[in-house]
């Protein structure tokens, strides 16, 4: 498959994430700036391969469980994931919030594992994209705090904004504001945001670093409704967040290497 066709196909799959009721052809074509005929051809191929189904009588397109099945089979073969998830679960139980692990993949920061600590009432458990926004999220700022200012701002400037998921009213509006957040996180050792990555949501995060080189490998974060994560609560949770990051840092390098190995062309699992 040509690179362009593959990119469009992946874009179609991403546009269907989080929409159990399905998405109309016209909306998919509009979001991806594709002619309807091209979007229809891609969807037809994905239906034939079993990744997408067309719902009746609406005619909407929705993801099947095939992608979930592939992901679970992939993760089930990773003993490192088995080691990381209980660590996340402990922090989730203590905080009562969503705890996530993000890892560096090239110039991206991607969610790879999570544990939900909220058992009742308000809870934050987003379904959308796996790539972490740098400027508006605590996780993005935490990772950038381990880079030089020039490198951090370059990454912020090149990341595309996903209009499907509007940021909160406290999202930074300038590179100078982003830089200020990075400096604060660098000094404190962890980043925090309120109503920034998403309205009504607060989060705190700290980087995972290679114990030998100090290179940033990823992040661990706590996120939840802003009413449940004011600054005072974040201050209480900060020591446990930092302890969890130290525990996960030893696993993160191995996990990053495993992900790269499994995704390199010609390497089979």
Average pLDDT over residues 225-246: 95
Nearest to 87 by CA among 114, 112, 119, 111: 114
- Average pLDDT estimate for 36-58: 92
Report the range of poorest mean pLDDT among 195-209, 228-242, 249-263: 249-263
Ranges of beta strands (E only) in 82-137 are 98-105, 108-116
Q: Are 217 and 139 in contact (CB under 8 A)?
A: no
pLDDT in tens, 101-146: 988 877 888 888 889 988 766 666 665 456 788 999 999 999 999 9
Confidence of residue 230 (pLDDT cuts 50, 70, 90): very high
Q: What is the structure's pLDDT at 23?
A: 93
Q: Regarding predicted confidence, which is higher, 194 or 257? A: 194
Q: Residue 269 has what pLDDT?
A: 32
Distance CA 213, CA 132 (A): 24
Please name the residue that has the structure tokens 């993760």: 75
- Burial per residue of 46-74, b for 16 or more beta-carbon CB atoms within 10 angstroms, e otherwise: beeeebbbeeeeeebbebeeeeeeeeeee
258 CB burial (10 A radius; 0-12, 13-18, 19+): middle
Could you tell me the strand order of the sheet in which 108-116 lies? Answer: 108-116, 98-105, 216-225, 201-209, 191-194
| Residue predicted with more confidence, 256 or 10 | 10
Check residue 111 and give its pLDDT: 85
| pLDDT (0 to 100) of residue 105 | 77
Higher per-residue confidence, 209 vs 212: 209
141-190 pLDDT per residue, tens: 999 999 999 999 999 998 877 666 678 899 999 999 999 999 999 999 99
For residue 252 the two structure tokens come to 């993160």
Residue 71: its pLDDT value, please?
Answer: 67
| Beta bridge partner(s), residue 114 | 100
Angle at 123 between CA 109 and CA 171, to 5 degrees: 50
Candidates 85, 77, 102, 55; CA nearest to 207 is 102
User: CA 109 to CA 147: how far, in whole Å?
Assistant: 13
CA–CA separation, 256 and 252 (whole Å): 6
pLDDT at position 264, please? 46
Furthest-apart CA atoms within the chain: distance in Å:
58
In 159-215, which residue ranges form alpha helices assigned H by DSSP? 175-188
């Amino acid at each position: 498959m040509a690179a362009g066709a593959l990119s469009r196909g992946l874009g179609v799959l991403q546009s269907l994430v989080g929409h159990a009721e399905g998405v109309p052809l016209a909306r998919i074509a509009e979001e991806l700036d594709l002619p309807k005929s091209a979007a229809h051809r891609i969807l037809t191929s994905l239906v034939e391969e079993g990744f997408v189904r067309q719902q009746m009588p609406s005619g909407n397109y929705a993801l099947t469980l095939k992608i979930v099945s592939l992901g679970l089979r992939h993760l089930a073969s990773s003993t490192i994931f088995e080691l990381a998830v209980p660590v996340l679960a402990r922090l989730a139980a203590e905080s009562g919030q969503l705890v996530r692990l993000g890892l560096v993949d090239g110039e991206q920061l991607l969610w790879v594992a999570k544990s939900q600590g909220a058992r009742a009432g308000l809870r934050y458990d987003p379904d959308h994209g796996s790539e972490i926004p740098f400027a508006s999220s605590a996780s993005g700022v935490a990772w950038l705090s381990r880079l030089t200012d020039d490198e951090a701002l370059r990454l912020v400037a090149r990341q595309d904004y996903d209009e499907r998921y509007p940021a909160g009213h406290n999202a930074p509006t300038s590179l100078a504001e982003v830089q200020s957040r990075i400096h604060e996180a660098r000094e404190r050792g962890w980043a925090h945001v309120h109503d920034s990555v998403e309205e009504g949501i607060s989060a705190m995060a700290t980087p995972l670093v290679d114990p030998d080189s100090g290179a940033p490998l990823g992040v661990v974060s706590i996120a939840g409704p802003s009413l449940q994560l004011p600054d005072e609560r974040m201050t209480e949770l900060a020591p446990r967040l930092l302890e969890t990051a130290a525990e996960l840092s030893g696993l993160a390098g191995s996990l990053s290497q495993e992900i790269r190995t499994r995704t390199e062309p010609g390497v089979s699992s």
